[in-house]
Amino acid sequence: MARVRRLSEAVDNLEIFSEGSTDVVGTLYNSTGEEILADDNGGDANNFRISRSLAVGTYYLRVKGFNDSFSIDTRTGAYSLRIRRQ
């Protein structure tokens, strides 16, 4: 799990998304490891897109491969991760 960032001020809309040909699922967690939001194909093609207002704090993101039998696995492949404040 990767630390997204420590927010020193609230963010009205933070957008986190993947780009690339690998089918991935993104899950956002709070500082205690509690799941906030997960997405599979909310972005373009097989990419995830998480858009959320966030309070001050530390957040973590897990990105995992998704296989064709509808279960998350350890598939590997190229993708880019983007984080954008809106």
Domain boundaries defined on the chain? 2-77
Beta-strand pair 57-66/2-7: antiparallel
In order of 8, 9, 31, 56, the CA distances from 38 in angstroms are: 23, 23, 16, 20
Residue 28 clears pLDDT 90, i.e. is over it = yes
pLDDT in tens, 30-60: 999 999 999 988 898 889 999 999 999 989 9
Residue 27 clears pLDDT 60, i.e. is over it = yes
Read off the pTM.
0.83
* Angle (nearest 5°) at CA 36 between 34 and 38: 115
